Structure 1
Amino acid sequence: PLGHIGVLKNGVPIYNAEDAMSYNGQGIWLRNAVYWENDGMDCSKGHPAPNMGPGGLAQGRYHHHQNPVAFTTAGVLLSSICTLYPASSLYTPDPNAHSPLLGYAFDGYPIYGCFGYDNPADPNSGIRRIESSYATRNITVRETLPDGTV
């Protein structure tokens, strides 16, 4: 589905990677917004929704499709004017420390920067780069994890 999938701690919504553009408006497939709308992204990798958004509900609303550069120094500046923004570099990715909380996905999971504990339940464990992932399960009846959590 199009629209919000989470919110950053500064209140800016996060959208999924799709941009609501599809062949003849059929909605069978949608374009990758990060790739196709990159020229319209600002220095924080955000932009306002186009005027023809889904149902017109998102028209003009500022949002992100990816990790905003304003939270990190790890991004590539999109133009020379980006160096003028005081919001950039709110944190610097440190491979020796857990990254800060950036926001929450609507399924309740926290969104962090790129480094986290090797064992999420043990803050004394080592630090490693967090990798986005999912796990499939070979089940037909849910006997554990009733709310869909992993």
Structure 2
Amino acid sequence: MKLKDGFTSFILLIFLFGNFVWAQERRQGGRPPVRKHTITERGDLNLIPADDKLPYNQEANFKKSKTERLVESNAIPEHKVGIFPSGRNPNKITEQEFKFSLPLDPKPAKQPIPLHNDSGRGPPNTPFGIALNGVLFDPGTAEFYMGDRRADWNYEALSGSVLLGLDMNHGHVQPNGSYHYHGLPTGFLKKLGVKAKRHSPLIGYAMDGYPIYALYGYKDPENPKAGIKKLSSSFQLKKG
């Protein structure tokens, strides 16, 4: 992996704010018909063992201009993955040609920026972020209650309600061949040496430009001497 970068160490858990500009070039693949689900409970996730080594070289370049962080990637992870196609995911992993332009000095937006809208087929309307190995953080799914994108009920990939063939890295494959993460990138975190007793290394960037860390950070984010704690998400259940 090619990487040249410096960063300011601070913790952010959910990145739904910020101005972002992104562009990507990818091979287009057809999407399957929208499925109509009526499931209202969690299920067993049943992750696929990540034992398969891909026949591609991983490529990820991070560069900086005066105002932007420029990213080019083939979206191939350096760690092993599940075997795809699989019974729950019929797509084969292929190299991509991603190009992204992220703000180098991100600022909080005045209003939240949604990752999805009801005017188009997703995901991704907007990927959440990109890991340093060039693989997208793309947690949204194209699975909606009764197949209605406007119903404001999008199934969570990690809930097990709708089985999508995730592997042990919490990743799987888009119809266009793009491997991406829906949750913690287990194999990548292991490669980075993430440990409970020290601050998380940088693992990627959100599309609004903010850095992404995982699992462990300072008890006081403004004080590196405050000790280490396991981080918790600011996710909240929707009322109603």
**Band the TM-score falls in, shorter-chain normalisation:** 0.5 to 0.7
Rounded to whole Å, the distance in 2 between the matches of 1:68 and 1:134 is 19
Match of 2:131 in 1: 8
Distance in 2 (CA, whole Å) between partners of 1:66 and 1:103 is 13
| Cα drift, residue 111 of structure 1 | 1.5
TM-score (norm 1): 0.62
* Structure 1 residue 120, shift from structure 2 partner: 1.5
Higher relative CO (Cα under 8 Å, sequence separation at least 6) belongs to 2
Aligned residues of 2:145 and 2:155 also touching (Cα < 8 A): no
**Given the superposition, is the C-alpha separation of residues 134 and 19 from structure 1 closer, same or farther in structure 2, using an over 3 Å criterion?**
closer
CA RMSD of aligned residues (A): 2.3
Report the equivalent of 1:69.
186
Structure 2 residues without counterparts, runs of 5 or longer: 1-115, 117-122
Query: Which residue number corresponds to residue 147 of structure 1?
Result: none
Partner amino acid, structure 2, of 1:31: Y
Of residues 194, 197, 202 in structure 2, which corresponds to 1:96? 197
Which structure shows the higher helix fraction? 1
Q: Which runs of 5+ in 1 are unaligned?
A: 52-58, 73-88, 136-150
Matched, 1:108 2:209: yes
Per-residue CA deviation, residues 100-125 of structure 1 (Å, 9 max, x unaligned), is 11111223332212110112222222
Give the TM-score, by structure 2 length: 0.40
CA distance in 2, matches of 1:23, 1:122: 44
Correspondence for 1:37: 163
Q: 1:117 to 1:32 in 2, by over 3 A?
A: same
> How high is the sequence identity, in percent, across the aligned residues?
37
The 2-side partners of 1:134 and 1:65 are apart by 15
- Offset from partner CA, 1:80-112 (integer Å, 9 cap, x none): xxxxxxxxx214543321111111122333221
Compute the displacement of 1:66 (Å).
0.3
SS in 2 for 1:124: strand
SS, match of residue 187 in structure 2 = helix
| Equivalent in the alignment of 1:79 | none
